[in-house]
Structure 1
Amino acid sequence: MLCNVIEYFIDGALKSCPNKVAISDGGTEITFSELEKKAKDLAEALIGRVDVVREPIAVYIPKSAAVIVADLAIMYTGNIFMNLDTEIPLKRLGSILNHIEPKLIITLRDRVDTVLDAVDGVDRNQIIVLEELAEAERHSVATVSNDRYRNLIDTDPFCIINTSGSTGVPKGVVLNHRGVIDFADWAFAEFYLEEDTIVGNLSPFYFDLYIFDLVLCLSRGATFVIIPEKLPIFPVRLMEFVAREKISFLFWVPSIMVNIANLDLLEKVPLPALQTVFFAGEVFPTRHLNRWRRALPGVRFVNLYGPIEIHIDCTFYVVEGEIADDQPLPIGYPCRNTDIMILNEADQLCAPGEQGELCVRGSSLSNGYWNDPEKTARAFVQNPLNTRYPELIYRTGDLAMRGADGLIFFAGRKDYQIKHMGYRIELPEIEHQVLGIPGIANACVVYDHPKKAITLFYQPSGAEVGAAAIRKALSTVLPKYMLPTAYHSMERLPMNPNGKIDRNGLVLSLVEEE
């Protein structure tokens, strides 16, 4: 039985195909044996700088093969990698680093000043600059790092993924080795993903979809092809890249796939090598999915569902047969070794066809939120259906229902957390930042689902504050995918009888505008 993800690599690709290309990054190719050498060298440098285990180490490097090397090196040291978005505003970067308090930050020379500006009082010795690693810090093939990973157990943290938080402080979700291995073993067996797989990685490396692409590479010996970050804004070039690289496996969020379908590119750019497409992170409109299926009848399409607090995903649906364009796509059935419970307001199991909150139990649960026991305790709770022994479930806040045949259908959010462009976003965090802008008296952010638009209603405190000024202010503290796309200034925000902003009324006003 594997106890940690690094053993996937050692007993998998490194043993079965050491000279095969592991990573393709532009014009650079790295074999599995070369990947081992680079990772072990860096691991020794990390250990030489700080001798810790089960501690977070941040990676602040643009998407590239260097990030994969760094992640693998951190695994060898027995620590926890945390990949960071290099495009986020300085304040948000500082908020994450101050909250997580990584022992080291791995970066490039041209990023050092950004890190120093983001975190007050950071020790320069905590920053590892890849270009400046001295030969003295690079020992011969590591023995220390080999011993360290063997001391890990499967419930130890594997990585931290930062997601939006309602108080303005991002939440650091702690994923463990067991959950990653459990999901990956199931997926490899269920979908026959092996050494001949060529992965077309499009997701950011600070996103959970990256984890599956990575372990597929390390365990099965699949080649990990990094798709250049700029290609999604040029869909034709993106499709040509997928065709040219003979990509056989994709794990993408639906947004880019919808765009490709809208541009009729599936008929113009053949993809004969493509075999399997996973998609997750948001609802894929059936009409657009059907265009992919018609253009690629031999390809297997799989809808997966799972919040970041779950190891990658917890339900799946292999899309088969005819599905009408206006028919909702199921999120399917639980993945192996995962149980899905749909509970009503009384914490009882919902009957078929009854809508309730989707809750998850099993090894797929994460360890909770880093350095935030209160928030963890609110989301990861005792199973209300089990009073005989301790058993945690995760309350997703998502609404779902089961059909008579057991198929699960997603029905939206229970609260104000949304999925937008594949990212889980808490709308109160955006409100929190808006209320910090001078001249704003009150604010409410709602989501226009038909238009997939984050919509801001705001009340100026005096002179009118324009949308451009608000957007400019927010762009310094929020990533682009969290910026509102619609702005409505109101003399006074509507209130309901209990004195709270009437969110439902604002949502209805959007419907009436349609």
Structure 2
Amino acid sequence: MTTGNSPSGSLQPDPTPQPLDQLAELGDAQSRALVLRAKVLTYADLRQGVALLAGLLASKCEQGSRVASWAAKGELTCLLPLAAARAGMIHVPINPLLKHGQVAHILRDSGACLLMATPARLKSLEEGDIPPNCEVIAEDDVSGLASAAGQSLGPSDRDPDELAAILYTSGSTGAPKGVMLSHANLWLGAVSVAHYLGMEADDVTLAVLPLSFDYGQNQLLSTWYAGGCVVPLDYLFPKDVVKACAKHAVTTLAAVPPLWVQLTEVEWPEEAVASMRRMTNSGGALTEDLVADLRAMFPEAQLFPMYGLTEAFRSTYLDPALVNTHPTSMGRAIPFAEILVIDDEGDPARAGEEGELVHCGPLVAQGYWQDQDRTAERFKPAPPSSSYGGVAVWSGDRVKRDQDGLLYFVGRRDAMIKSAGNRISPQEIESAALATGLVAEAVAFGVADAKLGHAIHVVSRPDGEGAIEELEKQLKRQLSRELPNFMQPHVYHWRDTMPLNPNGKIDRTALKKELGA
């Protein structure tokens, strides 16, 4: 097994997966498990809540059925992943920011037998959005119905290979596709992350990421595996995150780069910083400037840059001890992951040679729900050099591994810009733009061009105030010094704010559509 270097020493995590609902049974009964707006749930409360909710599900649907949730972070959305697993059902969490058309697609595609949602969201649905065999329950009614049903299900003995969840991901093209995750996938993901983060029972995790996002759901699962406490937060402004960190003495904060940028632009009082032990990043690379800002703001906290994809949950993390010396590295494989770099001939790439990142091992998902064609494109036999074998996720991401075994992101294969016969990584242009200090955020695209194949367009958000014309001149001047001629942007676009997708990442799809890319 290829594992990462754990901050907790030589102790190896237990590779034996359990039924996912067993996570409710791990913490001390009197310890806090979940801090909600109106109440606090201990682990004893968590066990009772999971048991009752599982009983309600069992009274509504058959085992193997899909049950969907469409609500903000609260008791229902936090307990349902475990309750559905206990009832032998498959949880389909729907991002609360999605609109009725996207929700209708997910309900139809998953064949959900039950939708639990907030009343306001249910009112937004139109005729025909809810499939005829899908029962609807308002979130406010769930607790009362569960108590009235009076059926409590004890800890299960589910086969860890059973399907436990379908997470729908928004691709760059086509309708969202559902990634199938087993009990084992989710359990081992929780074990792996809790282990390499060195989480303990006294940890407090502020859950700001969507629970429909694999990174967001792991906030719950890894914390509960460690016996810690989760504080769910749906924030409106970055300052809301800061206030919550101070109020709850938060020790663990996970975010994506756009949120980290926003958080570095607001004031952090000492009481919000003092308790912080670790910060984790995924969903995009951190820039060197952002790493420097976070290290300066949280000098006592560990920073964990990470890389993942929903099809395999999480693949790599960078040891915090290496962040200052290797700030742009993706790090090495996490526990239970084997990460290979395969060249275009299908052989292991040499150090410094670019290849495709291939993820092997028990974190690999079971494919896309009812989509054999797209499953076959991404889930393929592991390379002969794999120690695991079986099915691997071929990520489509281009990476390099240095002489020390550290991985570096190059770009997505299907996002590479092909201009004047050159294959160009958008991220290389973006990194160069950010390194100038003139822009806070930058996204590069290739836009179809009759002469060049692709013309290079860059969309940026200024870092500070000043005339855009002068700023653009300075940016062009600095990029001309840092990038070769064939990588120089042809067109510059400026935005006061960048569009974000429901997972909080820069919405590249929206920008590409706007630019005709």
TM over 0.5: yes
Displacement, 1:5?
1.4
Does residue 411 of structure 2 align to residue 402 of structure 1? no
What is the identity, as a one-letter code, of the residue corresponding to 1:288?
L
Q: Specify which of 303, 306, 309 is matched with residue 305 of structure 2.
A: 303
Match of 2:137 in 1: 128
Partner Cα separation in structure 1 for residue 229 and residue 456 of structure 2? 38
Does residue 75 of structure 2 align to residue 65 of structure 1? yes
Displacement, 1:236?
3.0
Partner Cα separation in structure 2 for residue 69 and residue 389 of structure 1? 33
The answer to whether the 8 A contact 1:81-1:160 is kept is yes
Post-superposition Cα deviations, 1:276-296, rounded to whole Å, max 9, x if no partner, equal 111111011111111111222
What is the identity, as a one-letter code, of the residue corresponding to 1:369?
Y
Q: Specify which of 15, 27, 30 is matched with residue 19 of structure 1.
A: 30
Displacement, 1:8?
2.3
Q: Specify which of 253, 256, 259 is matched with residue 253 of structure 1.
A: 256
Count the aligned residue pairs: 432
Partner Cα separation in structure 2 for residue 31 and residue 374 of structure 1? 45
Specify whether residues 314 and 488 from structure 1 end up closer, same or farther in structure 2 by C-alpha distance, changes over 3 A only. Answer: closer
What is the identity, as a one-letter code, of the residue corresponding to 2:136?
I
Post-superposition Cα deviations, 1:377-436, rounded to whole Å, max 9, x if no partner, equal 11111124269996211110101000011111111111139999xxxx9x99xx9xxxxx
The answer to whether the 8 A contact 1:357-1:399 is kept is yes
Specify whether residues 399 and 129 from structure 1 end up closer, same or farther in structure 2 by C-alpha distance, changes over 3 A only. Answer: same
Partner Cα separation in structure 1 for residue 120 and residue 189 of structure 2? 37
Does residue 510 of structure 2 align to residue 484 of structure 1? yes
What is the identity, as a one-letter code, of the residue corresponding to 1:368?
G
Partner Cα separation in structure 2 for residue 357 and residue 449 of structure 1? 25
Partner Cα separation in structure 1 for residue 181 and residue 287 of structure 2? 29
Does residue 9 of structure 2 align to residue 9 of structure 1? no
Instruction: Provide the alpha-carbon RMSD of the alignment.
Output: 3.5
Post-superposition Cα deviations, 1:203-256, rounded to whole Å, max 9, x if no partner, equal 0111112222111343222111112331xx2x2342132122100011211221
Match of 2:273 in 1: 271
Q: Specify which of 42, 45, 67 is matched with residue 34 of structure 1.
A: 45
Specify whether residues 246 and 372 from structure 1 end up closer, same or farther in structure 2 by C-alpha distance, changes over 3 A only. Answer: same
Does residue 65 of structure 2 align to residue 55 of structure 1? yes
The answer to whether the 8 A contact 1:44-1:137 is kept is no
Does residue 197 of structure 2 align to residue 185 of structure 1? no
Displacement, 1:155?
1.5
What is the identity, as a one-letter code, of the residue corresponding to 1:484?
A
Structure 2 counterpart SS, 1:138: helix
Displacement, 1:117?
3.3
What is the identity, as a one-letter code, of the residue corresponding to 1:416?
A
Specify whether residues 267 and 39 from structure 1 end up closer, same or farther in structure 2 by C-alpha distance, changes over 3 A only. Answer: closer
- The range that moved more, 167-176 or 385-394, is 385-394
Structure 2 counterpart SS, 1:81: strand
Structure 1 counterpart SS, 2:310: coil
Match of 2:112 in 1: 102
Partner Cα separation in structure 2 for residue 169 and residue 270 of structure 1? 40
Match of 1:437 in 2: none
Structure 2 counterpart SS, 1:340: strand
The answer to whether the 8 A contact 2:400-2:410 is kept is yes
Match of 1:159 in 2: 165
Query: 1:19-418 alignment to 2 at 5 Å?
Result: 19-50=30-61, 52-115=62-125, 117=127, 119=129, 121-123=131-133, 126-132=135-141, 138-140=148-150, 142=152, 145-146=153-154, 149-150=156-157, 152-165=158-171, 167-230=173-236, 233=237, 235-263=238-266, 265-266=267-268, 270-311=272-313, 313-320=314-321, 323=324, 329-385=328-384, 391-416=390-415
Specify whether residues 344 and 318 from structure 1 end up closer, same or farther in structure 2 by C-alpha distance, changes over 3 A only. Answer: same
What is the identity, as a one-letter code, of the residue corresponding to 1:5?
L
Specify whether residues 303 and 388 from structure 1 end up closer, same or farther in structure 2 by C-alpha distance, changes over 3 A only. Answer: closer
Displacement, 1:49?
1.6
Specify whether residues 345 and 225 from structure 1 end up closer, same or farther in structure 2 by C-alpha distance, changes over 3 A only. Answer: same
Displacement, 1:337?
2.6
Displacement, 1:22?
1.4
Partner Cα separation in structure 2 for residue 99 and residue 184 of structure 1? 27
Seq. identity, %: 19
Partner Cα separation in structure 1 for residue 281 and residue 151 of structure 2? 39
Query: 1:419-498 alignment to 2 at 5 Å?
Result: 451=460, 481=507, 484-485=510-511
What is the identity, as a one-letter code, of the residue corresponding to 2:328?
L
What is the identity, as a one-letter code, of the residue corresponding to 2:60?
R
The answer to whether the 8 A contact 2:340-2:386 is kept is no
The answer to whether the 8 A contact 2:367-2:379 is kept is yes
The answer to whether the 8 A contact 1:90-1:118 is kept is no
Structure 2 counterpart SS, 1:398: strand
Give ranges in structure 2 of 5+ residues lacking alignment.
1-15, 417-425, 431-442, 463-500
The answer to whether the 8 A contact 2:32-2:229 is kept is yes
What is the identity, as a one-letter code, of the residue corresponding to 2:275?
A
- The range that moved more, 275-284 or 166-175, is 166-175
Specify whether residues 448 and 358 from structure 1 end up closer, same or farther in structure 2 by C-alpha distance, changes over 3 A only. Answer: farther
Displacement, 1:303?
1.1
Specify whether residues 103 and 449 from structure 1 end up closer, same or farther in structure 2 by C-alpha distance, changes over 3 A only. Answer: farther
Specify whether residues 389 and 31 from structure 1 end up closer, same or farther in structure 2 by C-alpha distance, changes over 3 A only. Answer: closer
Post-superposition Cα deviations, 1:140-192, rounded to whole Å, max 9, x if no partner, equal 352xx337x31x21111221111124552211011122122223223333332
The answer to whether the 8 A contact 1:107-1:129 is kept is yes
The answer to whether the 8 A contact 1:262-1:288 is kept is no
Partner Cα separation in structure 1 for residue 146 and residue 187 of structure 2? 35
Displacement, 1:38?
2.4
What is the identity, as a one-letter code, of the residue corresponding to 1:332?
G
Specify whether residues 97 and 135 from structure 1 end up closer, same or farther in structure 2 by C-alpha distance, changes over 3 A only. Answer: closer
Post-superposition Cα deviations, 1:436-488, rounded to whole Å, max 9, x if no partner, equal xxxxxxxx9999667389xxxxxxxxxxxxxxxxxxxxx9xxx9946634887
What is the identity, as a one-letter code, of the residue corresponding to 1:37?
Q
